[in-house]
Amino acid sequence: MSSPTVAKIAVAAPLDKLLSYRIPEQLRGVLRVGHRVRVPLGRRTAIGYVFALATEAPQGLKAVSELLDEQPLFDSAQALFYERAARYYAYPLGEAVRTALPAGLSGRGSQPVVLRERHYRPGAMTGEPSGSLQRVLLAFIRTAGGASLGTLRASFAAPHAALHRLAEQGFLTVEEVERSRDPLAAEPVSPAAGVQLAPAQEQALEKICQAIAAGGFAPFLLHGVTGSGKTEVYLRAIAAVLAQDRQALVLVPEIGLTPQLVARFRGWFHDRPVRLAVLHSGLSEGERYDAWRAAARGDIDVVIGVRSAVFAPLARPGLIIIDEEHDASYKQGEGFRYHARDLALLRGQMTEATVLLGSATPALTTYQRARDGQLTCLELPGRVAGRPLPAVEVVNLGDFPAAGVLSPPLIEALAATLAAGEQSLLLLNRRGYAPFLLCRECGATCRCPNCEITLTYSRVERAVRCHYCDHREVPPDICPRCGGTQFLPEGAGTERLEETLAETFPAARIARMDRDTTTRKGAHGRLVAGMEAGAFDILIGTQMIAKGHDFSAVTLVGVVNADSALNLPDFRSAERVFALLSQAAGRAGRGDRPGKVLIQTWSPDHYALDFVARHDYHGFAASELPQRQALGYPPFGHLVNLVFSGNDAGQVADTAGRLAASLIRCRGEVEVLGPAPCLLQKLRGRSRVQILLKAAQRPPLRRLLDQVVAGCRLPAGVTLTVDVDPLDMM
């Protein structure tokens, strides 16, 4: 049988089809699906990924220029997964693959050099080298059976010339060896204590294990209140799938949750030969490269990671777990705008795996799928060991008009918690010192020149800063509009809350967890470890402190401002607030002592807060879903957001208007809303206009995208972003 002569390649460029290239003679029989190659594209070269091989006449085709990796980066099954994902999200296939592959795969980087003694055949050079340093080096390498260049540099002064001479004379052979940079290697393992499952956990686990044993695609929603022991169910389900010689993939929404979860997994499997790998952006490129390659070789049993880990190259996935499946972090916000939860379900379907979505506050789309029978719902209605859910009190800020950041009830509760030697969490979903600076004489603020929003004031950095484009400037002492001198911070962010707490409780040990304090590698883990060790009395932070953390000594949770998210012009705002505050409340009382939650708000009668206070997810869903159904919004309808952007606002608006007219002519069963300015009309210097497409079923949306959007020609300088199933329409 002749070798393939043509390769079908997805080029990492904005192209919606595979391109055909001739396979040169030296690569025939070598090139396979999943190989990364360099190919000519117009007047330049580009990176591409082999998706198919064919035996056909290659007349007139340009040849593949270079093979970039010895081994393929993915197999045929994954190639099909990539194709279906890129097709669904209307994104160029080659660009989607580039997004899916970790950055470390762009090159292996330098590999460690190892020097070994060369063993000669009869007639080869014999004897010992002449130089004294050469003899010492050779003896060292001979005794050790080989040594890395790094080791020799550390042990001997200036060994390079002597080593070079030894290699020239044939005494040494020089090898490059592949290293495995394992971030878990140096971490100690603490064996987990045995836990007796509650009856509800046993029942849920039994159904999951039955599905694993039966094989085939089986999607579940594990709906358990906070502290109900979902992770214990995960661990035992993973053990069941590993017993079948299949692999498990576990997704978490935040990097900060990974160290705690990995430690728990390693402790639970400490006496079993289970190979774990982590995949997230907090690792170095080399660490991600090594984890990816180990998974591709089949050397990994369990991969734990954030949303991008849904693409991990596992050949035998038997169980895919999406923890905190409701979390918006699973949706990619730029470029390839995939949702990891939905791709996990697709991958489970394609590989006949069990998929387990876990949450105390499932997304309403997931909850409705379970109601419709598309998922099997497993309930964990109570906390482990019969522990009660925390008492929730809604504090009406209108009763304390003179209060600052902290109301008297919250100050009193913090003081009592500190006196009892217990820990507190305070949630304020705004970083920085204050949301903006305000001139008290004319009302002027500092605005971002690129995004046309107010700049956040950071006292630590002594700057005002845009959290979208990262523009920074020194705040003025004098108002540039009126010359006034009362240019003062307005509102509060996490920095200001930290300062207020330090003044109110000077003896308290306070830590802050937000994006500004967790940029360095390992910062999340150090803060989590500090809370677990009792090194902090109060941890304040943005929404990342509300996600999945299990601190047994936390008995008080305070929500400093519940109103900012409630008032967003988004049909999902109530759902977001309910999920965030319910998750934050769930951090309290997870140990032996009962918990308490205080929520400060100017809107104490809002129905979402009422359901949070009663820990009533089903009641919230019963209230919210009929409103969605009446308006045709998800989960009873489907959306696609088309966002046009460019430097020329008039050109952007004209382009959006022309496409909207074409969409309206061909819309069929699709409702076309807009064009209208985006809520953030200017972002990173580019003006933005959006068109929202809404339909009761997906097929009409897909036909309209294929018929009109895919074929539209954009003028130079205007970019169109297609966001299928958008979560954020800012």
pLDDT at 184: 56
Per-residue pLDDT of 246-263, as tens digits, reads 999 999 998 777 777 877
pLDDT at 107: 41
pTM for the full model?
0.86
Residue 443 lies in a domain: no
pLDDT at 118: 65
Query: What is the distance between the alpha carbons of residues 147 and 141, in angstroms, rounded to a whole number?
Result: 6
Which residues are CB-neighbours of 489 under 8 A, at least 6 positions away? Answer: 433, 434, 436, 437, 438, 457, 459, 496
**317: domain CATH number?**
3.40.50.300
Please indicate, yes or no, whether residues 287 and 365 belong to a single structural domain of this protein.
Answer: yes
Joined together, the tokens standing for residue 594 give 């009962």
3-state secondary structure string across 251-320? ECCCHHHHHHHHHHHHHHCCCCCCCEEEECCCCCHHHHHHHHHHHHCCCCCEEEECHHHHHCCCCCEEEE
**652: domain CATH number?**
3.30.70.600
pLDDT at 343: 98
Per-residue pLDDT of 615-632, as tens digits, reads 999 999 999 999 999 999
Q: How many domains does the chain have?
A: 5
pLDDT at 27: 93
Residue type, position 65, single letter: S
C-alpha dihedral sign at 521, 527, 532, 535: positive
Give mean pLDDT, residues 207-217.
96
- Give me the helix-helix angle, 494-504 and 408-419, nearest 10°: 60
pLDDT at 115: 62
Please indicate, yes or no, whether residues 359 and 273 belong to a single structural domain of this protein.
Answer: yes
The residue from 627, 650, 683 where one domain ends is: 627
Per-residue pLDDT of 357-394, as tens digits, reads 999 999 999 999 999 999 999 999 999 988 999 999 99
Q: Which residue has the higher pLDDT, 700 or 437?
A: 700
Burial of 171 (0-12, 13-18, 19+ CB in 10 A): buried
Please indicate, yes or no, whether residues 411 and 278 belong to a single structural domain of this protein.
Answer: no
Q: Which percentage of the chain shows pLDDT scores above 90?
A: 58
Residues pairing with 489 in the sheet: 437
Please indicate, yes or no, whether residues 407 and 499 belong to a single structural domain of this protein.
Answer: yes
Q: Is the pLDDT of residue 653 over 90?
A: yes
Query: What is the distance between the alpha carbons of residues 220 and 211, in angstroms, rounded to a whole number?
Result: 10
Please indicate, yes or no, whether residues 159 and 254 belong to a single structural domain of this protein.
Answer: no
- Structural domain harbouring 329: 199-385
Q: How many Å from the N-terminal Cα to the C-terminal Cα in the chain?
A: 56
Residue 418's pLDDT band (cuts 50, 70, 90) = very high
Residue 456 lies in a domain: no
Residue 359: closest CA among 237, 544, 262, 225: 225
Distances (CA, A) of 526 to 169, 281, 503, 522, 529: 51, 17, 25, 6, 5
Please indicate, yes or no, whether residues 353 and 420 belong to a single structural domain of this protein.
Answer: no
Please indicate, yes or no, whether residues 374 and 395 belong to a single structural domain of this protein.
Answer: no
Residue 520 lies in a domain: yes
Per-residue pLDDT of 196-210, as tens digits, reads 899 999 999 999 999
C-alpha dihedral sign at 495, 497, 501, 504: positive
Residue 696 lies in a domain: yes
Residue 28 lies in a domain: yes
Number of Cβ within a 10 Å radius of residue 136: 15
Residue 141 lies in a domain: yes
Task: Write phi, then psi, for 680 (nearest 5 degrees).
Answer: -95, 90
Span of 274-288, 327-341, 642-656 with lowest mean pLDDT: 274-288
Query: What is the distance between the alpha carbons of residues 16 and 89, in angstroms, rounded to a whole number?
Result: 12
Residue 671's pLDDT band (cuts 50, 70, 90) = very high
Per-residue pLDDT of 151-176, as tens digits, reads 787 788 778 788 878 887 878 877 65
Q: Is the pLDDT of residue 588 over 90?
A: yes
Residues pairing with 598 in the sheet: 393, 558
Please indicate, yes or no, whether residues 213 and 359 belong to a single structural domain of this protein.
Answer: yes
Please indicate, yes or no, whether residues 168 and 281 belong to a single structural domain of this protein.
Answer: no
Per-residue pLDDT of 469-508, as tens digits, reads 889 889 888 888 888 888 788 888 899 999 999 999 999 9
Q: Is the pLDDT of residue 535 over 70?
A: yes
CB 645 within 8 A of CB 686: yes
Query: What is the distance between the alpha carbons of residues 246 and 709, in angstroms, rounded to a whole number?
Result: 41
CB 63 within 8 A of CB 33: no
Please indicate, yes or no, whether residues 612 and 705 belong to a single structural domain of this protein.
Answer: no
pLDDT at 109: 41
Please indicate, yes or no, whether residues 285 and 427 belong to a single structural domain of this protein.
Answer: no
Residue 633 lies in a domain: no
Please indicate, yes or no, whether residues 204 and 346 belong to a single structural domain of this protein.
Answer: yes
Residue 36 lies in a domain: yes
